[in-house]
Structure 1
Amino acid sequence: MNGRHMVAAVTIAVMALLTGCAGIPTSGPLGVSTTVPTQGPDGSLSFSAASPRDGMTPEEIIEGFYKAGVDTNDDYKTAREYLTTEFAGTWNPAAKATVYDADPAVVSNVEEGSYGVSVEVSSTVDDSGIRAVLPDRSSQLLTFQLTQVNGQWRISQAPDGVLIEAGNFESLFSPHTLYFYDSTFQYAVPDVRWFANKQGLAATVISAMLEGAAPHLNNAVFSAFPPGATLAQPSVPVESGEARVDFDATVFADASDLRRKHMRQQLELTLSSLDNVSSVVMTVDQQAVDLGAADPEFKAAQVNASVPNTQIAVADKALVYFQGNGYTAIGNIPDVSAYNPVDPAMSPVGTRYAFLSGDRKRLVTVDDAGTVRVAITGTNFTQPSVDYLGWTWTVNHNGGAHVIAVPSDTALDGEARDISAEWLDGAEVTSFRVSRDGARVVVAATIDGEAGIYIAGLIRDSAGVPRGVQTPVKLQLSQHLTRAVWERDDSIIAWNPDTEEPVAPVRATIDGKSEEFSPLLGLTNVSAGAGDRRNIYAENPEGIYVRSGNSWRKLEGQATGLAYPG
């Protein structure tokens, strides 16, 4: 399967807007509540929708139904009043949220008793809380069947889910971070979902976590809970900040005390986004699960783990450390000037380094003992990235895009190896950077002529040996950007280098938000890393700059290719 087919498998197909659509001839556009929302003490909005009136036309019933989709009270009781009794019992509002920008339009009587509503969609949220931000002017066609019940029109068939105006979306839905583990259980890996702000949120969040990670992280992250684990009850009571999560006894049947500790920690991390939860107790038949004695093997998983504050760079054809406003030489490394080094990298753990030769045809590694070796030769390598397990990553463009991983110990794990990433077949990759947790990668690539930023899981075996790159999720950004680095475990910074024009880097978070930085003339490189007081640096032909507020301040130090560890 080629790259464009693999990416298409995770792209939501949408229908073109129908011509000849007429706006619904009632006050207010379809799906927009005309009631005044109530604002809660936390700033969130709640809506109270109107029930159907006698004599409403089919178009008005459709409009009223989707207006009522913003009213979550009593499991969407008001929205169900627009449905036939039979359909009201089967309609599932949690199946999908369709978020739109432009006013929907209706096509009357597409077939006998059938109506179509065309919606310009900005994003969707599925029943697992996975949000997909769509390209501009994407659209979907929703079809309704209506029938008369005691002389009044009611909806007998409609798509599951609700329709939400974009301006109301973040009042009705909130992002919540589910957490999973990397292959070593040392790091907590975030998986952001969006859920409706309604009663039972704790159970909704936990149920989504138990179902497993999002597709782009499948087999790259791990849950402490066994496959098929579910809540014993459909609710999770929270009293005085304590969430009591009840499971069937089979969930713990084969779980060691260490695994049970990892289970509780995963629940605590996942529920940490809820303001009313401060602690978690796992129960079976309402009795607390025994976690056993303290275990020295249990370590708290690192969340948004910091990288060292010292960066690597190149100065006078040598690898150097850059910190603050200047650089220092790296000891115990022989002269590498013959390689004309560019695009350096270093491991977040230990003292391993990597760089490319000036012609970008050789990937050179430096081990903890200072031994320099050419790990692989090829064409137009991407800047290397070194993960915390010691693997050095790059992409070789010799005969296509090939993901390459070089182990820290070639005597034990062999030489450089190709890592499966079918979706990159035929692509031009310009960035390939591994996250601090080692479970994900941010990729800047041009696929079928279109530049994009992607996040994908790194599939490893139980020993941490890389086996593949998962099919990605694409970040929907307003610009076509060709470089990217991690900033935190939930955000990246992307840019399009240009030595002659102003360049405005963009911070993008995995919950779908983005922020444009102030531009810097001639920007070529950005260096960012997770942790407190980790500055963001940029380079242009004039030198090095540090981000201060939303502006750039020039530094005196001179070096190139700045990169935080990773």
Structure 2
Amino acid sequence: MPVTGDVKAVDASQPGDSQVQVYAVAPRDGATPNEVVDGFLESMTSDDSDFRTTRQYLTKEASSGWKPSALTTVLAKAPNRSDRPVHDSDRGTDEVSYTLTGEKVATVDDQNAYQPLAPSDYSSTLHLVREKGPDGKEWRIDMVPDGLVLGQSDFKRLYRSVNKFYFATGRTEAQSTLVADPVYIRNRTDPATGMDTVTQAVRSLLRGPTDWLRPVVASRFPPGTGLRKGVTSLTPDDSNVLKVPLDKKADGTGQRTCRMMASQVLFTLRDLTSARVEQVELQRSDGSALCVLGADQAEEYAPDGSSGGPDSQYFVDSKGHVERIPGSTRGSGEPEPVAGPFGSGSLQVSAVGVARDEQTAAVLSQHGDALYVSSIAADGELPVPAVTSKAGRARDRLTAPSWDGRGDLWVADRDPGNSRLLRLAGGMGKPQEVTVPSLDGGRITALRLSSDGVRIALLLTREDGTASLKIGRIERKGPQGKEQVSVVDLRQAAPQLADVTAMSWSGGSRLVVVGKEQGGVQQVRYVQADGSTPSSGVLPGVNQVLAIAAADDEQLPLMADTVGDGIVKLLPGDNWQTVLKEGSALVYPG
């Protein structure tokens, strides 16, 4: 304990050391109702197996019925209890009630799915009775809501975000690609199941995708497959090989399907263990090997949808032509014009979107009223516009285009009189209008497609001019080539930001966002696709960002368009550095 030195304020919301275990304290003999409630709330933040100590604050009947894993409610701060209890008028002094209050910001359901919420008032009631115990009457809680109630700092200490992976539906087996499905699991042993972190992740994977993503992905594990009974710990051996014992449901699985199952496990655990899992062995119920898959063999299912090499950066130069910075230079190389009509010629462009194979690009005309698509790998003539907008003002015309991992091109027309979202299958042909049934009065002013092709990030601008970030699920119905496409089930991706001005996907389940909190200054931060914010989400400040660009490969630099400093880049662990004083609309493929 220090006895000298300055006194410093400590932010109680800072995440604690994830290696520190917290043990609950049982209620003392003769504990007052205040002490019982406070002890119960504190014990919910512990690592106690099956919440055994937490249950000691409940009556026997309430303990047997309480389901702590049903729902986790996340509050901005730890819950407040009312200062004084309310006495039950019919039972005199033997029954009291307390009100718990706070600001609710998120929930985590029994599928481990995180749901961000616009901050709202939270209120619930705990009812206590004096019941006979071995040493006389003791106060205990006899009515308690299912689930846990935690402040944000405790939630971040106890839980971690994990991406589990499933295969996108509606694609041939040769095109099979994995899609990240983010969930939250306990940092260490889960009190409810007794499972370590790796086992929790595998168990969650086997239970199937979360409800929001389920309509567009599928697992290769046979329905109902689980871990062999009694398995609570999965640990890679000295050779970083992880053996996963499955139950009888998986015994008859063929080799091709089994290898796809193993790839789901490998990618789910990729960032979860201190040493990377190099090989997964799935086992039958009798312990024999079902199949074995190495990390290098799983790359054919890689979820990033990349072209296989480092992505180049593309931007519009001062003459309105498209130039490329070679990907191998990590943003430091000399720009060079692309081939074809966009790299030279009479057309001046204002924005560019490059297909993920880096063979084709789509550009907007100088005033944003026409979209052109052409090769950037071979010379050719300027094609006729693929899409046009009739809006009177440039800001009401077409958005910057974006390509998904399937090779489809997306653009939105912001025309107030004919607002629409359009998709060009394969980047060619007649644009198809995509239905978006739940815009809630907002208008699409920017869009970005995820590499897996099943999610779209939309900036929706309200009548007051502020914009919010929503993520929608892309559903396709009908035969390939004639499918009907819609964007459904929009959900908030950055509810903590009152105004979002730019965004880009950064990997399979993360976005980088430029925006402001209510009354705050502009900031650049990461958000997860489920709307949660990682502990290290806020990035170094940079002045007046107009646009942001990130690659599928998270090791490539983050790039930004700024007022005054031109195009700047940010490498991991570094500060922003100027790349080009002149140039705009920089993008990575996609």
TM-score of the superposition, structure 2-length normalised?
0.77
- Of 112, 117, 142, which residue of structure 2 is paired with 1:156? 142
User: One-letter code of the match for 2:387?
Assistant: I
Question: RMSD of aligned C-alpha atoms?
Answer: 3.6
The residue aligned with 2:100 is 117
Whole-Å separation in 2 of the counterparts to 1:532 and 1:59? 49
Question: What's the CA shift for 1:298?
Answer: 7.6
**Separation of aligned partners in 2, 1:318 and 1:310:** 16
Q: What is the alpha-carbon distance in structure 2 between the residues aligned to residue 187 and residue 246 of structure 1?
A: 25
Contact 1:348 1:388 (C-alpha < 8 Å) held by counterparts: yes
**Alignment CA distance shift 1:340-1:95 (3 Å):** same
Q: Of the candidates 307, 318, 322, which is equivalent to residue 319 of structure 1?
A: 322
In structure 2, do the counterparts of structure 1 residues 546 and 68 end up closer, same or farther at CA, with 3 Å as the change threshold? closer
Structure 1 CA distance for aligned equivalents of residues 547 and 400 of structure 2: 11
- 2:410 pairs with 1:402: no
Equivalent position of 1:301 in the other structure: 301
Q: What SS class does the counterpart of residue 499 from structure 2 fall into?
A: coil
Give the whole-Å Cα distance in 1 for the aligned partners of 2:141 and 2:554. 54
SS at structure 2 position matched to 1:286: coil
Is 1:146 the counterpart of 2:128? The answer is: yes
Alpha-carbon offset, residue 433 of structure 1: 0.8
Which residue identity is paired with 1:441? I
Say if 1:502 and 1:523, in contact at 8 Å, map to a contact too: no
TM-aligned CA distance change 1:481 to 1:78, over 3 Å: same
Question: 1:13 — aligned with what?
Answer: none
- Give, in whole Å, the separation in 1 of the partners of 2:440 and 2:418: 7
Shift of 1:217: 2.5
Return closer, same or farther for 1:79/1:293 CA change in 2, 3 Å cut-off: closer
Question: Measured at CA, do residues 110 and 392 of structure 1 come closer, stay the same or move farther in structure 2, by a change above 3 Å?
Answer: farther
Question: Equivalences for 1:372-383 in 2 at 5 Å?
Answer: 372-378=383-389, 379=391, 380-383=397-400
- Structure 1 unaligned blocks of 5 or more: 1-31, 33-38
Give the structure 2 partner of residue 192 of structure 1: 182
Say which structure, 1 or 2, has more relative contact order (CA 8 Å, 6+ apart). 1
Verify: 1:105 aligned to 2:84, yes or no: no
Distance 1:515 1:72, change over 3 A: closer
Shift of 1:63: 1.9
| Map of 1:35 onto structure 2 | none
Counterpart of 2:454 in structure 1 is 439
237-246 or 213-222: bigger deviation: 237-246
1:78: how far off?
A: 0.4
1:482 match: 501
Q: Which residue of 2 aligns with 1:269?
A: 267
Aligned to 2:533: 512
Q: Distance in 1 between matches of 2:589 and 2:52?
A: 53
- Give how far 1:355 is off: 1.3
Q: In 1, distance between residues paired with 2:48 and 2:258?
A: 36
Q: Paired residue for 1:288?
A: 288
Shift of 1:227: 4.1
Tell me the percent identity: 21
What is the match of residue 9 of structure 1? Answer: none
Distance 1:547 1:119 in 2: 38
**Contact conserved, 1:178 with 1:205, CA < 8 A, in 2?**
yes
Query: Aligned-pair distance for 1:142?
Result: 1.6
Q: Distance in 2 between matches of 1:349 and 1:472?
A: 28
Distance between the aligned counterparts of 1:120 and 1:332, measured in 2?
55
Q: For 1:41-56, what aligned pairs fall within 5 Å after superposition?
A: 43-56=18-31
- For 1:277 and 1:565, the matched residues in 2 are separated by 28
d(CA) in 1 for partners of 2:103 and 2:39?
Answer: 19
Task: Quickly say closer, same or farther: Cα 1:504–1:154, change in 2 above 3 A.
Answer: closer
SS in 2 for 1:471: strand
1:218-233 aligned within 5 A = 218-233=214-229
> CA shift at 1:374, angstroms?
1.6
Confirm or deny: 8 A CA contact 1:217 1:457 kept in the other structure. yes
CA contact (8 A) 1:401 1:425 kept: no
**3-state DSSP of counterpart to 2:513:** strand
Note the alpha carbon deviations across 1:393-422, whole angstroms, 9 max, x for none. Answer: 111234464221102264xxx521112321
Distance across 1 between alignment mates of 2:259 and 2:315: 41
Structure-2 residue corresponding to 1:209:
205
3-state SS of the aligned residue for 1:285?
Answer: coil
Q: Is residue 2:383 matched to residue 1:361?
A: no
Deviation at 1:458, TM superposition (A): 2.6
SS in 1 for 2:335: strand
Alignment counterpart, residue 55 of structure 2, candidates 80, 87, 102: 80
Q: Is the contact between residue 364 and residue 374 of structure 1 (CA under 8 Å) also seen in structure 2?
A: yes
Does residue 250 (structure 1) correspond to residue 249 (structure 2)? The answer is yes
Q: Distance in 1 between matches of 2:502 and 2:81?
A: 39
Matched residue, 2:551: 529
Match of 1:94, SS state, is coil
Supply the AA of the counterpart residue of 1:155.
Answer: I
The Cα shift of 1:43 comes to 4.8
- In the TM superposition, residue 95 of structure 1 has moved relative to its aligned partner by 1.7
Name the CA distance, whole Å, in 2 between partners of 1:257 and 1:191. 25
Shift of 1:313: 2.2
1:457 to 473, 495, 499: 473
